[in-house]
Structure 1
Amino acid sequence: MRRMNTSTAKTSTAPAAEDDREEQPPTSEAAAAVAEGGSPATGEKNGPSDALTKTDGSEESDDDLDASLDAEDPDDEDLDDDASRGVGAGAGAVVSTALGVVGLIGGWTGKVASERETLIGQIKTSNGGTAAQQISEIYGDSWHTTALVNGIFAILALLVGVFVLVRPAFGTPSAHPQPSWIRSVALGGVVLGAIGLVLSIAMFFDLIVALPST
């Protein structure tokens, strides 16, 4: 009887041992494989694919992505063209105003030309001459030369200012209009040039200040 009970106990404990082996948690190697993105059965890792997947399911290679990034946007080219045109127009407006100021109040070029005419007049009248001749040679020619040089600067101011103002009408239409400050500065140069030109003409022909008479 004892032998029969012992064999029965052994056979009853055998399935329990097999159930315990089935319920044992996964080993550390299997857990590490799952954490790294692999499957616990094979231990293989799921590496990144060599191609990028689009939203519609198709695949796009790295070369196609680089080509699309290198392609230039036409809108960016238009912005660059507008910026370059704006810089040129702004510079022209400032130059027009500066030329208008020189044409109105004079500059060192007009002073040098005036002093040269004065020196020539002194040389011509050094051997003698009438008072009217000395006034005309020494002072009259000097004043007229100053008026002529100032008039040239005034004309240049007018030409540059008018060019800046009318250029958008003859150029390519742009989505970005010309800034208002450029038009204002260019208009100021045109006004200064016109005033300087009128004064230069009046001084050259002795309409405002005439030469003294003897």
Structure 2
Amino acid sequence: MDTKTTEKTATSKTDEVAAGTSAEAAGTTQAAETAADAGSIPAAETVADAGAAVAAEDTAAELLDEPDDELDDDELDDEEAPSAEATGLGAAAAAVVSAALSAVALTGTWTGKVVAERETLIGQIKTSAGGTPAQQINEIYGDAWHSTALVNGVFALLAVIVGVLVLTLPRRPVRVRAVAVAGAVLGGLGLLLSVGTYFDLFLSLPTTGS
């Protein structure tokens, strides 16, 4: 009898311990599920709030970028317009300069006149002490003519260079190109006359009788 009673008592205690353990496990599982449910709600709300904030930031960035792009386009247009206008104005001025230089080369300059008078004076000084008529002609007149032709030739060459540079520029107005062509042609004519005069191709120096 004692042995049976002891066995029943041990069995009852074992069942009570197992039941207690099961109850504790169930309580722990329920608490964990409750905590998980309670934590998932704020987490979902946090994710939703973060997504809304990111969308708001993207929308604000797009709104800020659009005026900047328009402003940049307007600024680029404003910068290109004065640049093109300045380039056209420079080309027109260069064409006029070319035409003026060619006219100066054909008609003569004050600089050429001064250089010619200087050479004449030097020739008179050289031949004052004595010299043949051929030397006097060469020193007094020949050097003066050649100096004048040299100065006019320099102006003519500058006219040709400036006119050709203007013609090489792209998208120039017709009037600018016309003036540049006139300056280059007249400059070339003046250069031809200057070279011929310098080397006595058109007019030779007077000579004395043998």
Name 1:126's counterpart in structure 2.
128
Is residue 181 from structure 1 mapped to residue 183 from structure 2 by the alignment? no
After superposition, what is the alpha-carbon deviation per residue over 1:116-158, rounded to whole angstroms, capped at 9, x for unaligned? 0000000000101100000000000000000000000000000
Deviation at 1:80, TM superposition (A): 1.7
Choose which of 164, 182, 192 in structure 1 pairs with 2:186. 192
Q: Percent identity?
A: 57
Aligned length: 148
Whichever structure has more helix as a proportion of its residues is: 2
1:12 alignment counterpart: none
Cα offset, 1:72, TM superposition: 5.3
Deviation of 1:81 after TM superposition, in Å, equals: 1.6
After superposing on structure 2, the runs of 4+ consecutive aligned residues of structure 1 that deviate more than 6 Å are: 63-69
Per-residue Cα deviation, 1:17-62 (whole angstroms, up to 9, x for no partner): xxxxxxxxxxxxxxxxxxxxxxxxxxxxxxxxxxxxxxxxx99xxx
Gaps of 5+ in 1: 1-57, 169-176
State the shift of 1:77 in Å.
2.4
Structure index of larger Rg: 2
Alpha-carbon deviation of 1:210?
0.8
In structure 1, the partner of 2:154 is 152
- 3-state secondary structure, aligned to 1:85: helix
| Distance in 2 (alpha carbons) for counterparts of 1:150 and 1:112 | 12
Over the residues paired in the alignment, what is the CA RMSD in angstroms? Answer: 2.3
1:93-136 CA distance string (max 9 Å, x none)? 01101111111111101000000000000000010110000000
Q: TM-score, normalised by structure 2?
A: 0.65
Please point out which of 55, 75, 78 is paired with 2:77.
75
Q: Which consecutive residues of structure 2, in runs of 5 or more, have no partner in the other structure?
A: 1-58
Counterpart AA for 2:127: T
Partners of 1:72 and 1:121 in 2: CA distance? 69
Partner SS for 1:143? helix
